[in-house]
Amino acid sequence: MIRALAILIAALTVLAGSGPAGAQGFDPGSDIMRPNYRFGGYGGSSPIPRTTVSFASPYPPGTIVVETSERRLYLVLPNGQALRYGIGVGRDGFRWGGVHRISAKKQWPSWTPPSDMLRRRPDLPRHMAGGIENPLGARAIYLGSTLYRIHGSNEPETIGQAVSSGCFRMTNEDVTDLYDRVAVGATVVVKN
């Protein structure tokens, strides 16, 4: 009963609108994390706080650079800086590299596991509508024509771990922050 009530409150919160950046649980002016009311408490804060760092890069602002070995994602900013986020990466055998462009962005995306994943995990559902229980979380950023995405997660303890089948996981807070900052067509550089 309590879980059902929490899900209802979270759904109503999402339907009420996204609000300003401060409503996302992050006040960019103070670097202080606040309770995540936007997601009804689901997802939690990242064990690796989002922060602005110095970042010497040949890439223009707006480029995403994924450093798989560091388990960090960088959004290149002007003046030699970047926003650094903690991410979950592909486990052994599922890591990859390359350059792609953001081909789509979706809020509360639905999920259809690929056939390879269903062969490994026949217990998975064939399709899940978007929502709090969906493993893609609050937002998904699609990478070219690949099956891979940068997406949210309701399991913040997996951030900084090698746990996925090739996608890059972020907390719902962090992926929403990134989603609001990047455009379809932006370059994503994935380094091993």
- Contact yes or no for 88/163 (Cβ under 8 A): yes
Task: Quote the pLDDT of residue 50.
Answer: 96
Condensed to tens digits (0 to 9), the pLDDT of residues 99-114 reads: 999 999 999 999 888 8
**Cross-strand bridge partners of residue 66:** 73, 190
Tallying the residues shown for the chain, one arrives at 192
Q: Cβ neighbours of residue 36 under 8 Å, at least 6 residues apart? A: 24, 25, 42, 43, 44, 45, 172, 173
Condensed to tens digits (0 to 9), the pLDDT of residues 177-187 reads: 999 999 999 99
pTM, rounded to two decimals: 0.76
Lookup: tokens for 51:
């922060």
Query: What's domain 42-191's architecture?
Result: Beta Barrel (2.40)
Q: Domains of the chain: which residue ranges?
A: 42-191
